[in-house]
Amino acid sequence: MVTGSTCIICETARAGENGLVVCGNYICPLCEEKITKVSVSDPAYECYTSGLKKIWRCTGNCLPSGDSIFLASLARR
């Protein structure tokens, strides 16, 4: 389970909060929820896709040791 870091989407420090880590980048629970519910017609859609693109543009050493994708949110279920 991953707890707290700075969210790659909203760039807010979320100490003590569980979240999602993709390729070593933390996504806070609030952004995780919003990403799953945002529609393409929503003005915020571009903000979330831009944040996710930061993960995929990562160069070189963006993969953490071990698994490349951690779904910490699954541990909460």
Please state the domain extents for the chain: 20-76
Alpha helices in 1-77 (DSSP H): 29-37, 45-56, 72-76
Burial of 17 (0-12, 13-18, 19+ CB in 10 A): middle
CA count, 13 A, side-chain hemisphere, 39: 2
CA–CA distances in Å: residue 54 to residues 32, 45, 70 = 15, 15, 17
What is the chain's pLDDT, residue by residue, as a tens digit (77 residues)? Answer: 455 688 888 888 877 778 888 888 889 999 999 999 999 999 889 888 888 888 877 644 454 444 444 444 344 44
